[in-house]
Chains A and B, each alone.
Chain A
Amino acid sequence: MLRTRVLPALLGAAIVLTALTLLIAAAGKPLGESFQIILQGATGYPRTDAYGPEDAWDAVLHDMTLLLLTGLAVAVALQAGLFNIGAAGQLLIGALAAAWAGALQGVPSGMHLPTALLAGAMAGALWAFIPVWLKVRRGAHEVISTIMFNYIALYLTHWLVTERLKDPAGDAPQTAMIADPARLPLLREDFLQASWGLGIAVLIALGLWLTLYRTVWGYETRATGANRDAADAAGVPTAQRMVEAMLLSGALAGLAGAIEVCGTQYRFFEGFPGEYGFDGIAVALLAGNHPALALLSAWLMSALRSGAYHLHAETGAPKEIAVVVQAALILYMVAVYLRKRRVEG
């Protein structure tokens, strides 16, 4: 336990701190003060008149909602042995679908929010279907096809939002505002971004934990990911489990996009932040693809981002510090946890 869990975790924390120290020093900012600002951005403490816990938690919980969902999306696919690099595209398609459904006229007001969220999840699942179908039917590597689908989603949504679904009320490349009943309420009145989407995401994380580790379906899915040939031999319908896991993965990424629309932005626009889909990869890897640990890793990544953004706002240090630290963390995970056992010489 000490050697396999505690020491690597401590070393990981040390690497994050070292990377932060180096990047801040290289940016020519005072160290002690910078770390204090990062801590303030991540937690709100020490509080000042201009920036307090409500600002920090608003940013952190908002990011955490999206990172948790995209992280779970990547994790559930990886549990079935599939690398879903396409969460970014699925998120974009889901967001646009939710924005479209949320702006529909004549939907009963009690049903409008579920309709919009469901539209997002289904669109995301649809976007994940062709890649996984190509995988099980044609043997095409899912990484390649999901990368292609990311770019197709990027250009397709861009075309739709500039040509077909543009808000007729203005010139800006964005969809119309969604209807009030399709909105997710914010977590607190003084928040600007973090919505009750977080509650949905946390419930899904817990539900996924139970499903993956306490049901036959979960067992078979994990068996498929661990060794497909062995699972096949044991009678698991592995192709079916892979398709299901990938559809679930796409639905989660699409839901992330829908929640960003219904809870925070209230519309889809040119330049919608699909990158959250990529950040989900880091969240899943850091959590070892475990849904419950994803809660922790999503929070950690969000706090790191919020800290780095706050440092950027206060001192002008490049906010990409967060990206570099995230990359260093993945590389470290790669070196320590994700080594494959050597089979042959």
Chain B
Amino acid sequence: MGEIFDGQLFGAAIRQATPLILAALGGLMSERVGVINIGLEGKILMGAFAAALGALLTGSPMIGLACAILVGLTLALLHAVATQEWRTDHIVSGVAINLLALGLSTYLFRQIIVPREEAGETSVVSMFSPMSLGGLENLPILNALFKDQSWLTLFALALPFILLALLTRTRWGLRVYAVGNDSVKARTMGVPVKRMRYLGVLWSGVFASMAGAFLVLAATGQFRENMSAGRGFIALAALIFGRWHPLGATGAALGFGFFEALQMRLQGQPVFGVQLPTDLLLMLPYLLTVVALMGLLGKMKPPSDLGNS
């Protein structure tokens, strides 16, 4: 067992969980103000493409990240306008955004990046360099968990605490709570409901596209077709499993990241003499979320005004 459950596995779990945390917290920003966001997947994918293109053209991962956030904001703005101005069903708008992102990113990839590859130029971008731990390297646990991690991972791990503080300790946080639970009352009390919703959806665009940027600028160094590979939906599952709470969502994302890392590590190796099918491990996050939805793990309560605007 020692060969499977070592520090490297947990380090890999944190790495796998980083985009899930970012996207889940992005989803949280939008769902807490009552806007359902199933377009996370599309924002991750377009974010990844924009990050790759930006970093490829300029050689700077920071500019890649900025491009990703810009594109994420654009898609989020589309979702905000569709749900708030056109009063569209939130699901329909999310589906359209996912479709648009899949089509556009693949189309642009084939138009811009593939020809460069065919011409013999590299499509690998310069990535964020891993953080050095300095003197902390001697602490075995810290070293195992945080060796060679990117600053984006540290940011993702800090973000839930920042959000929790903002949500529970500030006027803005109270307003979010009011808008998400009873927007009519909130409006009566003078809360600028529409502005709160726009902001929430836009922040979801920022965080989800950062998740995409992480995939390119910190994990693989390259854009690939449909590279988000369902992470937006796992993030959504983490958000629900974590009951729309920043720490809960992050915990769930870490757990789901662990399953992914474990699945990659096992690749057919037996555990306690039993061959675990990798498909069943990959299925686990979704299965657990369904179990949570069944109410077997206590009561699930989404923001009461979710989807009503």
| A188 at the binding interface (Cβ < 8 Å) | no
| A330 at the binding interface (Cβ < 8 Å) | yes
Other-chain residue from A23, A143, A149, A285 in contact with B290 (beta carbon distance below 8 A): A149
| B138 at the binding interface (Cβ < 8 Å) | no
| B184 at the binding interface (Cβ < 8 Å) | yes
Instruction: Give chain A's interface residues, CB within 8 Å of chain B.
Output: 23, 26-27, 83, 85, 130, 134, 138, 140-141, 143-145, 147-149, 151-152, 155-156, 158-159, 162-163, 278, 281-282, 285, 318, 320-328, 330-331, 334-335, 338-342, 344-345
A144 to B307 alpha-carbon distance, docked (Å)? 12
A324 to B42 alpha-carbon distance, docked (Å)? 13
A140 to B286 alpha-carbon distance, docked (Å)? 14
Instruction: Give chain B's interface residues, CB within 8 Å of chain A.
Output: 36, 38, 78, 82, 86-89, 91-93, 95-97, 99-100, 102-104, 106-107, 110-111, 184, 187, 230, 233, 236-237, 240, 277, 279-280, 282-283, 286-287, 289-290, 293-295, 300, 302, 306-307
Tell me if B99 and A156 are in contact (CB < 8 A).
no
Tell me if A144 and B279 are in contact (CB < 8 A).
no
Tell me if B107 and A320 are in contact (CB < 8 A).
yes
Tell me if A320 and B82 are in contact (CB < 8 A).
no
Q: Could you list some 18 contacts between A and B, CB below 8 A?
A: A85-B91, A134-B290, A134-B293, A138-B293, A138-B300, A141-B36, A143-B36, A143-B38, A144-B237, A155-B279, A282-B99, A320-B104, A323-B99, A324-B100, A327-B100, A338-B88, A340-B88, A341-B87
A83 to B187 alpha-carbon distance, docked (Å)? 29
A258 to B279 alpha-carbon distance, docked (Å)? 23
Tell me if A340 and B240 are in contact (CB < 8 A).
no
Tell me if A151 and B230 are in contact (CB < 8 A).
yes
Tell me if B88 and A144 are in contact (CB < 8 A).
no
Across the two chains, which residue of chain B brings its CB closest to A324?
B103
Set of chain B residues within 8 Å of A281, measured between Cβ atoms: 95
Tell me if B87 and A331 are in contact (CB < 8 A).
no
Across the two chains, which residue of chain A brings its CB closest to B110?
A318
A325 to B107 alpha-carbon distance, docked (Å)? 11
Tell me if A23 and B280 are in contact (CB < 8 A).
no
Tell me if B93 and A334 are in contact (CB < 8 A).
yes
Across the two chains, which residue of chain A brings its CB closest to B87?
A340
Tell me if B91 and A134 are in contact (CB < 8 A).
no
A130 to B294 alpha-carbon distance, docked (Å)? 9
Set of chain A residues within 8 Å of B103, measured between Cβ atoms: 320-327
Given contacts A320-B102, A320-B110, A344-B184, 6 further A-B contacts (CB under 8 A): A134-B293, A141-B36, A152-B287, A152-B290, A324-B100, A340-B88
Tell me if A134 and B82 are in contact (CB < 8 A).
no
Interface centre among A27, A130, A152 (most CB of B within 10 A): A152
Tell me if A318 and B106 are in contact (CB < 8 A).
yes
Tell me if B99 and A326 are in contact (CB < 8 A).
yes
**Those 9 A-B pairs whose CB atoms lie nearest each other, nearest first:** A323-B103, A324-B103, A327-B100, A159-B279, A327-B99, A340-B87, A155-B283, A330-B96, A140-B293
A250 to B261 alpha-carbon distance, docked (Å)? 33
Tell me if A138 and B36 are in contact (CB < 8 A).
no
A85 to B90 alpha-carbon distance, docked (Å)? 13
A318 to B102 alpha-carbon distance, docked (Å)? 12
Across the two chains, which residue of chain A brings its CB closest to B306?
A141
Tell me if B111 and A324 are in contact (CB < 8 A).
no
Tell me if B290 and A155 are in contact (CB < 8 A).
no
Interface centre among B237, B290, B300 (most CB of A within 10 A): B290
Tell me if A334 and B82 are in contact (CB < 8 A).
yes
Tell me if A143 and B111 are in contact (CB < 8 A).
no
Tell me if A339 and B286 are in contact (CB < 8 A).
no
Set of chain B residues within 8 Å of A162, measured between Cβ atoms: 279
Set of chain A residues within 8 Å of B107, measured between Cβ atoms: 23, 27, 318, 320-321, 323-324
Tell me the smallest distance from the CB of A164 to a CB of chain B, in Å.
10
Known: A320-B103, A324-B104, A331-B82. A138 touches B92 (CB 8 A): no
Set of chain A residues within 8 Å of B111, measured between Cβ atoms: 26-27, 318
Tell me the smallest distance from the CB of A165 to a CB of chain B, in Å.
13
Tell me if A158 and B86 are in contact (CB < 8 A).
no
Tell me if B100 and A152 are in contact (CB < 8 A).
no
Tell me if A320 and B300 are in contact (CB < 8 A).
no
Set of chain B residues within 8 Å of A23, measured between Cβ atoms: 107
Set of chain B residues within 8 Å of A134, measured between Cβ atoms: 290, 293-294
